[in-house]
């Protein structure tokens, strides 16, 4: 496995891949866990050459967010990527990715107005801009994204269609801890009590699938009540929307629906979701 830190080297190794081979890209911010590794494994199964990018992208963090303290451990990541049989790690510095003040950004409207787009202004412009840079640098045939960040998947798919990027987006299932908590690099921020109470997110979402709810309001109220049983939980949002359009819905009627939550435990903001595809939620 090769490790490169410059755009020039990344392009060089990419150019050496024969044109008959398929290139897969897995964009990450590092501090790898099984969720990331599942993306690499899927890429490994489907592609001849697997590129992993590790870059904590400052432009997708708000001013008071955790860019500085975001967990980083490149040595460990490199070992895990090697074990997962990645072919190339692209691990640029901030200066390499943003050598001069950025006057060009990629902004996706409408589907970024709700959920994390509403709570984190500018976040998806940062994400879309860095992902389009990565697509231009690596020119992958396929790119792998986790449904843990389901709004991100919708945003990137929209961008790829709107701007004619020649890449197939592959959405991958959420990987969870044994007790249901969605794996996240940010889980290390949680203290023992917060970690234990954080299991309520998945429990609440799972419980939705066992009830015969007919309206988005009913679902939202139910999930809020469940989450609020945990004293350390502070809800940022609970929303039930059409997926991937993220349009508001009233009744549940055969469309694909996402129930998405963002909840703070102390200074840690966790997100989770379930996508319901059945005609009825039952
Ligand atoms: P991040 O490093 O948090 O930016 O995540 C990089 C990629 O891994 C994104 O496409 C995430 O959606 C995906 N990812 C993160 N956590 C999980 C998880 N628990 N299950 C599946 N994919 C995940």
Residues 6 or more apart whose CB falls under 8 angstroms from that of 164 comprise none
Once rounded to an integer, what is the mean pLDDT over residues 104-118?
98
For residues 215 and 142, state if they share a domain.
no
Residue 9 has pLDDT above 60, yes or no: yes
Residue after which a domain boundary falls, among 144, 172, 200: 172
pLDDT at 255: 86
Once rounded to an integer, what is the mean pLDDT over residues 97-122?
98
Ligand 1 closest atom vs CA 182 = 19
Residue after which a domain boundary falls, among 137, 172, 207: 172
Once rounded to an integer, what is the mean pLDDT over residues 101-117?
98
Which residues are 241's β-sheet partners?
248, 258
Confidence of residue 281 (pLDDT cuts 50, 70, 90): very low
Residue 209 has pLDDT above 80, yes or no: yes
Ligand 1 closest atom vs CA 149 = 12
- Give the whole-angstrom CA distance, residue 213 versus residue 226: 15
Once rounded to an integer, what is the mean pLDDT over residues 121-147?
98
Task: Specify if 281 maps to a domain.
Answer: no
The 10s digit of each residue's pLDDT in 157-195 is 999 999 999 999 999 999 999 999 999 999 999 999 999
Residue 279 has pLDDT above 90, yes or no: no
Residue 282 has pLDDT above 90, yes or no: no
Q: Which domain holds residue 158?
A: 2-172
Residues 6 or more apart whose CB falls under 8 angstroms from that of 231 comprise 197
**33, 36, 136, 164: the active-site residue:** 36
- Overall number of domains in the chain: 2
Task: Specify if 98 maps to a domain.
Answer: yes
Average pLDDT, rounded, for the chain: 97
Which residue lies with its CA nearest to atom 17 of ligand 1? 35
Does the beta carbon of 130 lie inside 6 Å of ligand 1? no
For residues 13 and 110, state if they share a domain.
yes
């Amino acid at each position: 496995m090769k490790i490169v830190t410059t755009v020039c080297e990344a392009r060089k190794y990419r150019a050496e891949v024969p044109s008959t081979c398929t290139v897969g890209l897995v964009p990450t911010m590092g501090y790898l866990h099984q969720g990331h590794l599942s993306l690499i494994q899927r890429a490994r199964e489907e592609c001849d050459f697997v590129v992993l990018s590790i870059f904590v992208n400052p432009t997708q963090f708000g001013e008071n967010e955790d860019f500085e303290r975001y967990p980083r451990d490149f040595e460990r990541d490199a070992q895990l990527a090697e074990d997962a049989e990645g072919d190339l790690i692209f691990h640029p510095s901030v200066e390499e990715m943003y050598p001069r003040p950025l006057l060009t950004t990629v902004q996706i409207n409408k589907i970024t107005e709700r959920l994390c787009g509403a709570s984190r202004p500018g976040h998806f412009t940062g994400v879309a801009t860095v992902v389009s840079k990565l697509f231009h640098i690596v020119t992958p045939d396929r790119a792998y994204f986790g449904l843990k960040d389901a709004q991100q998947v919708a945003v990137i798919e929209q961008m790829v269609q709107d701007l004619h990027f020649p890449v197939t987006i592959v959405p991958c299932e959420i990987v969870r801890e044994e007790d249901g908590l969605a794996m996240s690099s940010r889980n290390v921020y949680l203290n023992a009590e917060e970690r234990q109470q954080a299991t309520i997110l998945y429990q609440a979402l799972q419980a939705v699938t066992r009830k015969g709810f007919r309206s988005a309001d009913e679902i939202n109220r139910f999930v809020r009540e469940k989450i609020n049983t945990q004293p350390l939980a502070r809800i940022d949002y609970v929303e039930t929307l059409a997926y991937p359009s993220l349009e508001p819905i009233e009744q549940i009627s055969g469309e694909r629906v996402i129930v998405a939550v963002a909840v703070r435990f102390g200074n840690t903001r966790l997100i989770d979701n379930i996508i319901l595809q059945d005609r009825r939620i039952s």
